[in-house]
Structure 1
Amino acid sequence: MYPDRFPRNAWYVAARSREVTRSVLSRWLLGDPVALYRREDGRPVALVDRCIHRQLPLSLGRLQGDRIECGYHGLTFDTDGSCVRIPGSSRISDRVRVQAFPLYEEYGLVWIWMGDPELADPALVPDHHWFRSDCWATAEGTLHMAGRAQLLNENLLDLSHLTFLHPESIGSPEVAEAPVHTSYDERVVRVHRTMTDVSCPPFFQKIMQVEGAIDRGQVAEYFAPAFHISQTHIRPAGSGDDVPAFRQMVMHAITPETRTTTHYFWGVARNFALNDPGVTDFAVEAVSQVFQQDIAACEAIEHIIAAWEPSYPLELNIKVDAGPLRARRIIEEMVAAERESSAAPEPHKVDTAARRAAAASRLRAEGRRSVV
């Protein structure tokens, strides 16, 4: 039912850019310990956070220029994971190394690819340019959940819960009753709602200064396996397209930490009150409280389903579950495809440098940064 394994051949948010510095950051991602830091030229590095000698986390060591020295016995590793120094040894095999992970940095986020590095195409990173655009103002935060990542994926695809879980902030009675249209392709699920002449929730009254009834549109967009953009468009009821809409784009990067714990990186971009820090401060506090309610619900569900494993209690699926159920299927298909690929004979490898150069060329043409 609820996937607790996620594909490794995919991009996940590992950290916010400001978190990755010249001090080594240790973070568990997809069940693996990862050490993150920056080279002296500012480029980020990600290595598995364990020395191959006696497993001490490399994050407990120290940086020597761009290299990291284990704090236990002094083995030193370069940014590509190769071991360049073993005290007392003059010759080091090329096979002595730790795993290094491809990274991609854009719009204040550091993305990591923990699968086959030859498949790490930055063009697969979902668009999220709103969060560093002069045309949008942003608020952001980072949360942690003691539950599997799929619970948040499904929470974000079934927004009928706004009526019942968030009635004092972003919910209204009409959300749960509004007709839902679900569409999807191989890796993306979209759930649409259009509501006309409905009540305005307290959160939008506060930040948009809207009184009375509104016309409200919602699109929950999921990019498998772990990224969402939730769009909200609001106008005074009956005002029509001639009146500019208040628009809000909410980013949710849902990164599995372990099988049953999750990192939650969120951001809210708005096209109004661009120079009002008071609106931003209110959004940071209010949105964080909303997402804490989501987390509390998901953690309560985790407590129940964990007690039933390896089976699950019986669940009833209803119309609004089309999006969440499709998300489950996509993740299951991605994991199964990786399993089949690893079991099959290894295909002819394309040169990694050539693949990355080609990807970088495509991104330059699109005006985006190349892979790190």
Structure 2
Amino acid sequence: MFPKNTWYVAAMPEEIDAKPLGRKVCGESIVFYRGEEGRVAALEDFCPHRGAPLSLGYVSEGKLVCGYHGLEMGCEGKTIAMPGQRVRGFPAIRAYPVVERYGFIWVWPGDASKADESLIPVQEWHDNPEWAYGGGLYHIQCDYRLMIDNLMDLTHETYVHSNSIGQKEIDETPCKTTVEGDMVITSRFMEGIEAPPFWKLALRGNHLADDVPVDRWQICRFTPPSHVMIEVGVAHAGKGGYEASAEHKVYSVVVDFITPETETSIHYFWGMARKFNPKDKALTATIREGQGKIFGEDLEMLERQQKNLLAWPERHLLKLNIDAGGVQSRKIIDRLIAEEQGGAVPAAETASA
């Protein structure tokens, strides 16, 4: 189950070029394309004539043309024309609220009358000369909540990412989890440690020494429906840690937009926005490649985890203090789903662990 009356990242703009894009979001089969003046449109991926996927068609003069018999669709889901046929009386298909913003295509798969563009979360790093961004997309066969668990509990880095960002101090340093309204925050601060390989690379990329002790931070923020932003970085030890001035640290935000495809598959839009040496395009490419490998290391673990959970559905998962971020995030998701369905809504909770 997933909330539907909310905005999800559906695609990156470059995925919707001359051809339409078919993508399933929260169980909804949707076709995305650019209509008149290049504006993005989103319709049911279903031709009202014979049920063919409209995503197998093409775009002509801002109209979506079915690749089966040439039926033309308008951006609002109404049939416009078809060679040699009268089709304007066809019932309209569903049109979804869709917005292009912050370098992503956002879609609202729920009740269109409740869609509010002001609810799209602001991304301060987008189109900001003080920041640089690089990212990508993975298709993963797992429940979207498993990815939220993964990102809200970074102790797995010691084991899954041992050659890049993992280190024993993550295990040894307690994390703190708090809930502020619909936001869950899990944070960990490490002092006087050696920087792991990825962060040594980042230090060099900001013209800082990589062979001295550093202070490291990880601040994970979950917001509904399934977005996780993680403040990460290191500073030379004794310079103020997270609060250090820019000349003594490397500071980034790991961007995670997790979009459910089905109950057991996701579109995972990942990236890193960094606030140091933003004009260095080679550094952006290097960091993107490194981040892609790090995220790729999670894929097998998550997909095999999902298979285990499907094979043994009667087994209850155990909860430790390191799981608090994922547990609290799931409580918020469950409440939002219950509100949409008009069921009992759990009392609001503020918790720490």
Structure 1 gap segments, 5+ residues each: 342-372
Aligned partner letter, 1:227? H
Partner of 1:262: 266
* 1:153-164 mapped onto 2 (5 Å cutoff): 153-164=148-159
Question: Which contiguous aligned blocks of 4+ residues in structure 1 show a shift greater than 6 angstroms?
Answer: none
With 151-160 and 280-289 compared, the bigger mean Cα shift is at: 280-289
Give, as a single letter, the amino acid of the residue that structure 1 aligns with 2:171. Answer: A
Residue number in structure 1 paired with 2:305: 301
TM-score by length of 1: 0.85
Cα displacement (A) at 1:72:
2.6
CA separation in 2, counterparts of 1:136 and 1:47? Answer: 34
C-alpha spacing 1:242/1:96, structure 2 compared with 1 (3 Å): closer
Question: Which residue pairs with 1:323 in the alignment?
Answer: 325
Q: 1:86 offset after TM fit, Å?
A: 5.3
Question: In 2, Cα distance between the equivalents of 1:134 and 1:275?
Answer: 8
Q: 1:75 to 1:91 in 2, by over 3 A?
A: closer
Amino acid aligned to 1:50 = F
Q: Is the CA contact 2:199–2:233 (under 8 Å) kept in the aligned structure 1?
A: no
Deviation at 1:207, TM superposition (A): 2.0
Superposition deviation, residue 22 in structure 1 = 2.9
Listed as ranges, the matches of 1:134-149 within 5 Å are 134-149=129-144
**1:62 counterpart = 2:66:** no
Match of 1:333 among 327, 332, 335: 335
- Per the alignment, residue 345 of structure 1 pairs with none
Is residue 152–residue 295 contact of structure 1 (8 Å, CA) maintained in 2? no
Alpha carbons of structure 1 residues 91 and 141: separation in structure 2 relative to 1, 3 Å? closer
Residue identity in the other structure for 2:123:
H
Give distance in 1, aligned partners of 2:82 and 2:289: 49
Distance 2:87 2:147 in 1: 49
Alignment identity in percent?
Answer: 34
Instruction: Give the C-alpha shift of residue 100 in structure 1.
Output: 0.6
Work out the number of aligned pairs and report it. Answer: 334
Which residue in 2 is equivalent to 1:366? none
Q: What amino acid is the match of 2:118?
A: A
Report how far residue 110 of structure 1 moved.
Answer: 0.6
Question: Over aligned residues, Cα RMSD in angstroms?
Answer: 1.8
Deviation at 1:308, TM superposition (A): 2.0
Question: Aligned residue for 1:42?
Answer: 38
- In 2: Cα distance, 1:129 partner to 1:242 partner: 20
Shift, 1:69, TM fit: 2.5
**What are the equivalent positions in structure 2 for 1:66-105 lying under 5 Å apart?**
66-85=62-81, 90=86, 92-93=88-89, 96-105=91-100
SS of the counterpart of 1:182?
strand
Q: Report matched runs for 1:192-271 at 5 Å.
A: 192-209=187-204, 210-240=210-240, 241=243, 243-244=245-246, 245-271=249-275
Task: Report the alpha carbon displacement of residue 76 of structure 1 after superposing the two structures with TM.
Answer: 2.5
Structure 1 letter corresponding to 2:143: R
Of stretches 75-84 and 236-245 in structure 1, the one that deviates more from structure 2 is 236-245
Where does 1:280-299 land on structure 2 (aligned, <5 Å)?
280-299=284-303
